[in-house]
Chains A and B, each alone.
Chain A
Amino acid sequence: MSDVTETESLEPPIADTVDNPVSGIDQTAGNFSYKMDYEFDAGTGLSEKTVRYISSVKKEAPWILEFRLNALKQFLAKPMPTHWATKDLENINFDKIRYYLSSGQKPKRTWDEVPDDIKKTFERLGIPEHERKFLAGVEAQFDSEAAYSNIKDIVSKQGVIFVNSTEGLREHPELFRKFFGKVIPTGDNKFSALNSAVFSGGSFIYVPKGVKVAQPLQAYFRINAENFGQFERTLIIADEGAEVVYMEGCTAPKFSTSTLHSAVVELVALKGAKIQYITVQNWANNVFNLVTKRGVAHEEAEIKWIDCNIGSRLTMKYPGVVLKGRKARGEVISIALANDGQHQDTGAKMIHAADETTSNIVAKSISVGQGRSTYRGVVHIPKHLKGCKNNTECDALLISPNSRTDTYPAITVRGDRNSVQHEASVSKVSEEQIFYMQQRGLTEGQAMSLSVNGFINDLARQFPMEYSVELKRLIDLEMEGSVG
């Protein structure tokens, strides 16, 4: 592996060469360090200059720059939410993070430099040869470009707009400005403010009235066709009666060059529209993944989040739905797997704001080894509403004696014309179960992964076929490594 040099310059604009694009937090865990050259980058650290630089590179309209600068102020003013969240957040060194790398530049290294265990992981996951190189950062693109433009061509015939955030704001301000930053206000939390200040990448999608997009829109291709965004910003608008499924991520481990990922995703489902947003993420275990995701469902609209989190050092993510119109429906299906040294702090938020709205939350977490999973949920039904329903179910599975799980459900239901159900369970894979499966010829690792797959089986079935197959393989791999 090549050498690593720390670069701490706070003079961002147009550094010619930067030795270490990975100077973030602790890189040793991911065991990645390599030398790269970037044509454009904003240096390390965050200041007004950084924000102005990003905005100017993107040739943004003045209102967007204003939006960013305001967000920066809010970010700097807000304290870390450690009064309720883990103190591990204090280990993020914002001055050492690189906030923008030009999209023209891709990481470069040779296949020989990719560690063997990662090559093996790709092999075991059955990732096609040409994709492996991309995922390991050897090649920037395989055929994503083609796959993306193909999807884009098909959907554009239906009037669907599927672009990145920069292009969306530049080319279609009349469509996107109305909702941009409205579902998740800049000051919602410290990390939504950070994202609002430095966002780049992410998808902007508009589905016109009554259009039902037949195939899922895959961010995988879109994002791969560009550079992977640390601070992605996604906004999806489904107009009246429209339907769309969006898929983000893939089960392949993301060997990212950065250690802080803070995305903001906003969904707007207008009257009678349906949006399904599917995420499968598998981060390297040095990554802080702090994401804000929320949707607004208007009358009779439906928003469903399917969220699967594997890997990372700390993930904090609570997809939410604001049920704004009568008979709107919201759903969150969440799977989290925390292995050694990982903390999955995930959950859901359902804010009922109209009569006869219904919401459903099913969250399953698995803690392996020293892994820790936390469920946080908010369900809010105010007194003046009637006919609202919520169902919350959270189940935790502990694999090892040292595994940890915590549940913090906050359910506020007022008035007597609404109903809620809440169930929670914690279970363990017992020695007897493992012995039983071993007695049938399965190794201890196979027995573990079978019980884990069984535990999430009812949720995994809701994933698209290829995702659930990949998920199963991934769990096999995680569990295999977890037994002595």
Chain B
Amino acid sequence: MPQLEIKDLHVSIGEKQIVKGLSLTVRSGEVHAIMGPNGTGKSTLAKAVAGHPSFTITSGDVLLDGKSILAMQPDERARAGLFLAFQYPSEIPGVSIANFLRAAVQARLGEGEELDATAYYKRLYSKMDMLQIDRKFTSRAINDGFSGGEKKRCEILQMAMLEPKFALMDETDSGLDIDALRIVADGVNALRSTNLGVLMITHYQRLLSYIVPDHVHVMWDGRIVKSGDKSLALELEAKGYDWVKNELVPA
């Protein structure tokens, strides 16, 4: 079974170590949630796994289907089936969502293989219908002047079109009001399948009432300090992060 395996990962920005030996395995079909207070290294983990050039992996490994991806460029990792839903997606002025996705789909085809435009639009529109996105949306320049909710929906639409094996979702709930949160969560739930593994990063328990995880991990100071099922999220919500600090982190 396909799996994304993070092994004793250490990540730094410049001299500063952020992730300090984190191990986690996500199998196809599973949804994992990583919770933790701000500044604990959750986003760093996601970006480092995706290959962001600002982060240095000092030791450990990340394996996709048993093969290390650390020597791969970010685009190679993406084409291998890794998707990162950004907390703050970039704006690309002048490039429509439709054209951007088309280029991304084209990039996954073999040399000399041409994208079938009719089939592409058919698929795009069916995904948009599924996510209840207006047709006019895709002619807008990507994330340019989007509201927080629109940006997150745009991320989910891209995820739906690119059909990754593993998705890292970085604070997908941040900046969303309750209606937008529900729409985005519905989208993610619609994409849940045995062919997709999800690693959700969140600060709040709130998202997890909409997207119910199979596993919950608590992250503190660059490490996972506790793992459990969905009840752990509720316990965390009730007791607060001080509980983690006082009880779970060895002095």
Contact = CB atoms under 8 A, between A and B. Distances in A.
A126 to B, nearest CB: 12
B110 interface: no
A439 B100 CA distance: 12
Interface string A439-461: 11111101100110111111000
Contacts of B108: 441
Give the bracket for the number of chain B residues in contact with chain A.
20 to 34
Interface stretch (A62-70, A308-316, A427-435): A427-435
A450 B84 contact: no
Contacts of B91: 433
A451 B83 CA distance: 20
B104 interface: yes
Contacts of B86: 436, 439
A439 B166 CA distance: 13
B204 to A, nearest CB: 24
A442 B90 contact: no
Interface string B90-125: 111111000111011001100000000000000000
Contact of B92 (A433, A439, A444, A458): A433
Contacts of A457: 94-95
Contact of A439 (B54, B84, B99, B101): B84
A442 B104 contact: yes
Contacts of A431: 53-54
B123 to A, nearest CB: 16
B103 A450 contact: yes
B158 interface: yes
B64 interface: no
B75 interface: yes
A364 B74 CA distance: 30
Which residue, of A433, A440, A442, A444, has the highest number of chain B Cβ atoms within 10 A?
Answer: A440
Interface in A326-373: none
A391 interface: no
Interface in B177-229: none
B94 A456 contact: yes
A435 B52 contact: yes
B79 interface: yes
Contacts of A453: 94-95
B107 A446 contact: yes
A27 interface: no
Contact of B158 (A430, A440, A447, A450): A440
A437 interface: yes
A431 B55 CA distance: 13
B141 interface: yes
Nearest to B105: A441
A458 B95 CA distance: 10
Interface of A: 430-433, 435-444, 446-447, 450-451, 453-458
Interface of B: 50-54, 73-75, 78-79, 83-84, 86, 89-95, 99-101, 103-104, 107-108, 141, 158, 162
Given A440-B75, A450-B100, 11 more contacts: A435-B50, A435-B53, A436-B86, A436-B92, A438-B51, A439-B74, A439-B75, A439-B78, A441-B75, A443-B107, A446-B107
